[in-house]
Structure 1
Amino acid sequence: MNCYKRFAHIYDDLINEDIDYGTWCLKILNLCQILNVKKQDYLDLACGTGNMTEKIAPHFQNSWAVDLSNEMLSEADEKLRNKRLKINLICEDISKLKLNRQFDLITCCLDSTNYLLEEKSLENYFRGVFNHLNSNGIFIFDINSYYKITSILSNNTYTYDDEKITYIWENYLEDEIVDMYLTFFIKCKDVYRRFDEHHRERAYKCKTIEYALKNCGLNIIGKFDNYQDKNVTDTSERIVYVVNKHTK
């Protein structure tokens, strides 16, 4: 699968129009305050270009960020350095975490969990989080809902066009996995340069996510609709989970 390579260089130009990272950050930090989370060590999983890392890291003494794409980490490194933030950036698969330390807050935002296509990988990911989470720490992550992937993304085509970037986004859904084929045309002086990316996400039902969390020793303490104080419904598109280690 070819994803988050050349796309990394234009990622922020596209995503910042749709995602309110400031609101997400405020919700996460508010949850930390309510739950008395110690603001010592923070870990951002699938950090991408570091948008969430940039906003949350200043509130913690030490911060780490993990992503599988070297290209995304390169963008994150430049951004965080420009903000004079000292972050430990690590290229690693989130389903194979081996950082040899524990954290007070772990986040994994913007449906990165859906990129884990096998339930075994999902459980390995949750076990890794369990092993890296302090006893009083919390893990906050979100997923594209089953409804969004199967009813909205599904077998649809989307287009985008402005003065600098044009793309065609074609989706094909089969066996609860959506294959997303993106063709980009980027304006460089008077010439448009093309590149292609292929992304895959799995539609997980809540019961599958919640069974895996429980099986890995993680306890759900909060569940929200898109980082808002709203209950999840059958038509929620982004579901946010707040979990901690299960206490006997």
Structure 2
Amino acid sequence: MQDQVSFGDELVSREEKTRRVGGVFSSVASKYDLMNDLMSGGMHRLWKDRFVAKVAPRAGEHILDMAGGTGDIAFRMAKSGALVTVSDINADMLGVGMERAKKRGVEGLTWQVENAETLSFADASFDAYTIAFGIRNVTDIPSALREAHRVLKRGGRFYCLEFSTSEWPGFGEIYDRYSEHLIPKIGKAVANDEASYRYLVESIRRFPRMSAFKAMIEDAGFRSASVEPILGGLVAIHGGWKI
């Protein structure tokens, strides 16, 4: 049992979780961006804008966008002239991202399949590391955070955008009911995949609260760790520096 981890509300082996998460994102890749709009009422676009403003990418910087999937964060950062490597464990998600980049005429991005827990990049390769709505799907989150720290240059910055638990009285409960009952139904109607969206809802519930995740970032070696709640913490931007 000690080697089991949560896949939503189930306990499975680490290998099984990695395999099943891969299956989830292969299944939803083609409808991923449309579903994000429907599930958040388009608000995910504002959250991502705020996140990238926090990262403050600069021309010539090397940035690793982990779990970059369909490119939403990378497209925003590329406007600054930063050199962005978009990585994801799921080749299907990257395929959608590359097709979107081609249609939009976005050039200069590097696309690479990577496991966040065992990155192939050399030490001190990047000025910044970003991960948006991806860390909760990693099988071994502490390992991924340590890898983020390893591949950053000294003075490099880490930023993570992720769902958490709203601390606004009543709001968290309302969102919990909405996500439990409606999101899987939207997934079934739009993506013909209720099970994958039920897992995504369950994974949000099981993700550590803001203070706990901040402590995990610090344990990985980052300094000046910070957290900026959005909607009381329904979504949060976490940050840290490699000193």
Shared fold (TM-score, shorter chain, > 0.5): yes
User: Is it true that 1:206 corresponds to 2:210 in the alignment?
Assistant: yes
TM superposition shift of 1:30: 5.2
Q: Which runs of 5+ in 2 are unaligned?
A: 1-19
Identical-residue share of aligned pairs (%): 13
Q: Between Structure 1 and Structure 2, whose CA radius of gyration is higher?
A: 1
Q: Which residue of 2 aligns with 1:21?
A: 45
User: Is the alpha carbon distance of 1:38 and 1:88 closer, same or farther for their aligned partners in structure 2, counting shifts above 3 Å?
Assistant: closer
Partner of residue 56 from structure 2, selected from 32, 56, 80 = 32
Taking the TM superposition and a 5 Å limit, the aligned residue runs for 1:44-55 are 44-55=65-76
- Name the CA distance, whole Å, in 2 between partners of 1:84 and 1:142: 23
**CA-to-partner distance for each residue in 1:40-72, whole Å, 9 max, x for gaps?**
201111112111111112323421011122111
Q: How far does residue 23 in structure 1 lie from its aligned partner after superposition?
A: 5.9
- Aligned CA distance change for structure 1 residues 197 and 122 (closer, same or farther; 3 Å): same
Q: 2:238 aligns with which of 229, 233, 241?
A: 241
Tell me the equivalent position of 1:220.
Answer: 224
Q: 1:79 to 1:123 in 2, by over 3 A?
A: same
Q: TM-score, normalised by structure 1?
A: 0.71
**What is the CA distance between 1:129 and its match in structure 2?**
0.4
C-alpha separation between the residues in 2 aligned to 1:138 and 1:87? 20
Is the alpha carbon distance of 1:64 and 1:145 closer, same or farther for their aligned partners in structure 2, counting shifts above 3 Å?
A: same
The two structures have a TM-score, normalised by structure 2, of 0.72
More strand by share: 1
Deviation of 1:106 after TM superposition, in Å, equals: 1.3
Q: Is the counterpart of residue 127 in structure 1 residue 124 in structure 2?
A: no
1:168 matches 2:188: no
Equivalent pairs, count? 206
Amino acid of the residue matched to residue 144 of structure 1? F
Matching residue of 1:9: 30
Residue 85 of structure 1 aligns to a residue whose secondary structure is coil
Of 69, 76, 90 in structure 2, the residue corresponding to residue 69 of structure 1 is: 90
Secondary structure of the residue that 2:107 maps to in structure 1? coil
Verify the 8 A CA contact 1:38 1:137 in the aligned structure 2.
Answer: no
The aligned counterpart of 2:129 is 106
Quote the RMSD (CA, aligned, Å). 2.9
**Match for residue 77 of structure 2 among 49, 53, 56:** 56
Question: What is the alpha-carbon distance in structure 2 between the residues aligned to residue 185 and residue 38 of structure 1?
Answer: 38
Deviation of residue 141 (structure 1)? 0.4
Name 1:183's counterpart in structure 2. Answer: 188
The answer for the alignment partner of 2:14 in structure 1 is none
More helix by share: 2
The alpha-carbon deviation at position 21 of structure 1 amounts to: 3.1
Q: 1:80, 1:86 within 8 Å by CA — same for their partners in 2?
A: no
Q: Which runs of 5+ in 1 are unaligned?
A: 160-166, 170-181, 187-193, 227-231
- One-letter amino acid of the structure 2 residue matched with residue 238 of structure 1: V
| Separation in structure 2 between the aligned mates of residue 96 and residue 103 of structure 1, nearest angstrom | 16
